[in-house]
Amino acid sequence: MALCYNNQVRYKVQKKLEDIIKNRGIEDVFVLAIETSCDETSAAVVKNGREVLSNIISSQIDIHKRFGGVVPEVASRSHTEAISGVVNEALNAAKIMLQQIDAVAVTYGAGLIGALMVGVSFAKALSYALGVPLIKVNHIKAHVAANYIINPDLKPPFMALIVSGGHTAIVSVTSYTEQKLIGSTVDDAIGEAYDKVARVLGLEYPGGPKVDKLAKNGKNSIRFVKSETLKNSFDSSFSGLKTAVINYINTKKQRSEELNVEDICCSFQTEAVEGLISKTIRACLENNISTLVLAGGVAANSYIRQRAFEECKKHNITLCVPPLVYCTDNAAMVGVLGYYNLMAGEGIADDDLSAVSNLPL
Ligand code: KG4
Ligand code: ZN
């Protein structure tokens, strides 16, 4: 059912918006943020764009585990069941009353359409009831904004390497609200490749963290053939590598040969990460950018973090890496970007806001 603002609500929202801008820097701005793009139901309260007062995450991992991956319909249902409680918990943890909220920010894409719709509908209803602005937030950009939480001095311009289950991109962050795509994957996202390799190895969903752990005790001893066509580009590809690993595992199994799972994880991970790190460093150097941030779920990976640290040190680039809780999906990052969108007068949504599954950067 469509939710239409009546004139009274529209006037109230407009007035609130004007008050926020007029009192900028004088009065605190509290943003309530909602994130439901995949398998985490999350709500957060963020003060003045940088201070996280609460960040509640209800993960569905245990629900999806038995299916070996996220089942979209199950995800939507679980979000519907959890969202009200998660939002209440976020308000309680922040010691903030609903009436103190100045704006509601919500992830409207990219992600699973049904899952996104739960968050968007809830946020719309809240903004309507409170008479406060509704701010739409791009999930991929929000991952980058997570870095503002723990780096008080970080400000654009800088370069970002976004690595998640759905995206792999190198972007130039030119302002708080604008990001320019430098390169991206031409096929699978890096997280997808991690999860697929893990699945073929019989590891539980989500496989990325398990591959990371096993790789620590392995050797980079297996050469997985990868396409060289993107060598000089900022784009990358992971589907060829993924297929090479799967073929290797299947051939070994057919021959009843023993698999060295740790070596497979280490060799796959080295191949997947090395090219990406060298492209990212080259992007920084060629664009004269001296700060790099990591973003997205795969930024939790210990090898990516280690290699980014080593290469940045070598090339005199300042590296920012979010703590693990801000790498994977969370509403705090949505609240941060929501605040900057609000202040820039961008992304202010109306009652016709819809979820967009394949929203570009
Ligand atoms: O950003 P995210 O939480 O969700 C998306 O927006 O996609 O990323 C989830 C992805 C999954 O593919 C998961 O396996 C991967 O991040 N991941 C990791 C690690 N922790 C999470 N991959 C490799 N190593 C990790 N330590
Ligand atoms: Zn994400």
- Residue 166, ligand 1, Cβ within 6 A: yes
Q: Looking at residue 147, what is its pLDDT? A: 98
- The finding on whether 330 has its CB within 6 A of some atom of ligand 1 is no
CB of 297 within 6 A of ligand 1: the answer is yes
Residues with CB under 5 A from ligand 2 (ion): 164, 329
Question: Which ligand has an atom closest to residue 207 CA?
Answer: 1
How many other C-beta atoms are found inside a 10 Å radius of the C-beta of residue 174?
A: 12
| Short-list 190, 200, 182, 328, CA closest to 271 | 190
Residue nearest ligand 1's atom 5 by CA? 165
91 contacts 38 by C-beta, under 8 angstroms: no
User: Which of 40, 59, 116, 164 to mutate to test ligand 1, by most ligand atoms within 8 A of the CB atom?
Assistant: 164
Q: Whose CA is nearest to atom 20 of ligand 1?
A: 209
302 forms beta bridges with none
Taking Cα atoms as reference points, which of 330, 358, 361, 357 lies closest to residue 105?
330
* Cβ 156 under 6 angstroms from ligand 1: no
pLDDT, one tens digit per residue, over 88-108 is: 999 999 999 999 999 999 999
Q: Could you report the per-residue pLDDT of 304-349, keeping only the tens digit for each? A: 999 999 999 999 999 999 999 999 999 999 999 999 999 999 999 9
Ligand 1 center–CA 166 separation, angstroms = 9
Distance CA 39, CA 113 (A): 12
**The whole model's pTM is what?**
0.94
> In 3D, which of 70, 3, 4 has the Cα closest to residue 41?
70
Q: Which of 59, 143, 194 to mutate to test the pocket of ligand 1 (most atoms within 8 A of CB)?
A: 194
Nearest Cα neighbor of 312 from 296, 292, 295, 294 is 292
- Give 26-84 pLDDT, tens digit per residue: 999 999 999 999 999 999 999 999 999 999 999 888 888 888 888 899 899 999 999 99
Q: What is the pLDDT of residue 41?
A: 98
- Angstrom CA distances, 96 to 31, 334, 336, stand at 11, 18, 17
Q: How far apart are CA 187 and CA 238, in angstroms?
A: 7
The residue whose C-alpha atom lies closest to atom 1 belonging to ligand 1 is: 297
pLDDT attached to residue 7: 83
**Whether the CB of 194 sits within 6 Å of ligand 1:** yes
Q: 168: closest CA among 256, 352, 295?
A: 295
Torsion angle of the four alpha carbons 298, 301, 305, 306, in this order, in degrees rounded to the nearest 10: -150
Q: How many CB atoms lie within 10 A of CB 351?
A: 16
Residues 236-276 have pLDDT tens digits of 999 999 999 999 999 999 999 999 999 999 999 999 999 99
Hey, which of 328, 329, 357, 359 would you mutate to test ligand 1's pocket, going by the most ligand atoms within 8 Å of its Cβ? 328
Which ligand approaches the C-alpha of residue 168 most closely? 1
Encoded tokens for 25: 């820097």
The pLDDT tens digits for 210-225 are 999 999 999 999 999 7
Residue 345 burial (10 A CB sphere; 0-12, 13-18, 19+): exposed
Structure tokens at 235: 């784009």
Atom of ligand 1 lying closest to residue 140 CA: 6
